[in-house]
A and B are shown apart, each in its own frame.
Chain A
Amino acid sequence: MSTGYKRVSGDAVEYEVFARKTRVEPLHQVGSVVAPDDDLAMAYARATYDEERWCEMAIVRKDHVIELWQPGEA
């Protein structure tokens, strides 16, 4: 196996994966993936979490989430 590939998009980042099974329920977090860009993150999220029959799936970069407070701070 060759492991010498440098990703042009920089270091891999973490993405949170959200999904729901029906329109009436809200999106909820089902897991996360690590990828160097949005395209690969979408492919990885779909491959990793596709066992359920989701009607919607979305991903968001973890560093784009704006935290109001963290555990222990509230």
Chain B
Amino acid sequence: MSLSDLVLSIADNKQMLGLRYAEWATRAPSLEADIAAAAMGLDDLGHSRVLYGCLEPLGADPRGADRESNAASLRNLAYFDEPWSEWSHFVAANAILDSAFTVMIEACVNGSVEVLQHRLRKMLMEERYHFLHGRSWLRSGIDKGPLDRAWREAIEWFGPPDGETALLHREGKLAMGPAELRARLEQQLEMKAPRVEIDWQAWDPVRRRGKPGAIDEHTFGMLRGLEEKKYAPPTAAKQASS
């Protein structure tokens, strides 16, 4: 595990978060919430592009060829594996997971790695509005199930107390380690995380998750451009395959 692996994890998660937000752009409880879902989706897809662009300057691009064929090679959290069926899933992701990614980006911006200091700073400004949106909906009260699940996955994603994230913090590359990241998230959301027992032996340090699985076939197909090819005119499909 390296800083590049962590940046790729943030990028993959933001890409999936953006796509899942966008799926709610016509299903949210109000027109304003529809527009916010679309706007936040675009923001996070844009952020993922910036993060992918940081991999080369960081020196080691961990993306392998299997990303084109194996959905399980993407480093997204299990929370994004399937489309969200309830608005409470959206709110828990918006308030807890989106904020968890932002806290990690804050740790990168305030760390010692120059490319991350410069390129990720603007994201923090844009994420302020995602946070306000998520916190407000969270305060209105949502189902406990998705909320607890989002907290668990956020804490897992920060990593074990003595793992690579902690090492990157000790080296100064990250301004916060797992304990500080969790405390910062709790402080921002003005709430305590639920008690969670995590089996770090079963935790996947590359995908930063404890649960096996991968994103659904439809979403993976869309990510790889397969859906576009299916609906494209025959000549375009032929060109795309050649």
Contact = CB atoms under 8 A, between A and B. Distances in A.
Interface of A: 1-3, 5-9, 12, 33-37, 39-40, 42-44, 46-48, 50
A2 B40 contact: no
B29 A37 contact: no
B199 to A, nearest CB: 32
A47 B36 contact: yes
B86 interface: yes
Contact of B136 (A2, A3, A43, A46): A43
Nearest to A12: B30
Given A35-B32, A44-B36, A2 B129 contact: no
Contacts of B193: none
Contact of A47 (B27, B129, B136): B129
Contact of A39 (B35, B39, B132): B132
28 contacts: A1-B29, A2-B87, A2-B88, A3-B87, A5-B29, A6-B141, A8-B139, A9-B139, A9-B140, A33-B32, A34-B32, A35-B32, A35-B136, A37-B136, A39-B133, A39-B136, A42-B132, A43-B130, A43-B132, A43-B133, A44-B32, A44-B33, A44-B36, A44-B133, A46-B39, A46-B129, A48-B35, A50-B39
A40 B142 contact: no
Interface string B111-149: 000000000000000000110110111011110000000
A14 to B, nearest CB: 11
Interface size of B as a range: 20 to 34
B88 A40 contact: no
B141 A47 contact: no
B39 A47 contact: yes
Nearest to B87: A2
Contacts of A34: 30, 32
A6 B142 CA distance: 10
B32 A48 contact: yes
Contacts of A2: 86-88
Residue of A8, A34, A47 ringed by the most chain B CB atoms within 10 A? A47
A51 B222 CA distance: 26
B214 to A, nearest CB: 26
A39 B135 CA distance: 8
A7 B135 CA distance: 12
A1 B86 CA distance: 5
Contacts of B141: 5-6, 8
Contacts of A1: 27-29, 86-87
A48 B111 CA distance: 33
Nearest to B89: A2
Contacts of B87: 1-3, 5
